[in-house]
Amino acid sequence: MSVVAIEKLTKQFAQGNVVALQDIELAIEPGEFVSLIGPSGCGKSTLLRIIGDLIQPTSGTVMVNGKPAPRARADHDYGIVFQDSVLFDWRTVSKNVALPLELLGWDRARRKTRVDEMLALVELQGFGDHQPWQLSGGMQMRVAIARALAFEPPLLLMDEPFGALDEMTRERLNMELLRIWEASKSTVVFVTHSIAEAVFLSTRAVVMSARPGRIADIVEIDLPYPRGAATREEPRYFELVTQVREALHLGSDLDRAVADV
């Protein structure tokens, strides 16, 4: 059974009659790491939010783990990470990670055990009692990831999580994310506008084009795991980067062609 199954999905925003997404068909299998990549305005974040039942589609169906998206959300099937870490200032790092566990009604002892495990997973042992603002941007993002994965959701939604970080931190967190993903065995949907990031991380890159947002191409990324710094220097990596880039450009040419008609 697919973790995500999207059929004939269309999203039209009432204001200005903008067609944000048109005829989206996508199936994501368990354990996949799928990137949504495209120019701004291609609806990739909107698609992520529709999968997460944070926005309602205009038409079409979104099934998550065989259930309609609202049911999946109520069942706590989602972990979510945004570009901004969105940590709560008034909670310590540990309490931030424990937030979803509190919402699930876990008792204190069970929460503490899990929080410790999660902080170890993102390599932030010893930072549990810090306030979020005492941490660097990269560390804050790791806390956000730990929070999203704390209750072992079957599906992790990430909306440009490393977009605001510098290139060095971003590459390091990319590698950490792969390690965490392999350890947690969850399925990831990852929105990005970085070709390098999409190729390095994903099992598949879904290339989108804008106005209206459509899937232009889906590129299978057949680089073997575990991937590391050396992966970025392999010829196959560069071929795939080129392939994604061409798919993106084809998509935007298509835009222009449509605009010209």
If binding is defined by CB under 8 A, does position 90 make contact with other proteins? Answer: yes
The token duo for 183 is 């350890």
Least CB distance to other proteins at residue 151 (A)? 8
Instruction: Closer to other proteins by CB, 97 or 216: give it.
Output: 97
What does the per-residue mask of binding to other proteins show for 22-61, with x meaning CB under 8 A? ---------------------------x--xxx-------
Minimal CA–CA distance to 40: which of 159, 137, 173?
A: 159
Q: Which of 2, 10, 12, 131 binds other proteins (CB under 8 A)?
A: 131
If binding is defined by CB under 8 A, does position 157 make contact with other proteins? Answer: yes
Instruction: Closer to other proteins by CB, 82 or 181: give it.
Output: 82
User: Interacting stretch for other proteins, rule CB under 8 A, among 10-18, 35-43, 127-135, 241-249?
Assistant: 127-135
Q: Which of 100, 128, 161, 213 binds other proteins (CB under 8 A)?
A: 100
Instruction: Closer to other proteins by CB, 49 or 170: give it.
Output: 49
Least CB distance to other proteins at residue 90 (A)? 5
Least CB distance to other proteins at residue 9 (A)? 19
Q: Total number of residues binding other proteins (CB under 8 A)? A: 26
Least CB distance to other proteins at residue 132 (A)? 7
Rounded CA gap, 160 and 157, in Å? Answer: 10
Q: Which of 8, 30, 103, 129 binds other proteins (CB under 8 A)?
A: 103
List contacts with other proteins (CB under 8 A): 49, 52-54, 73-76, 78-80, 82, 84, 86, 88-91, 99-100, 102-103, 131-133, 157
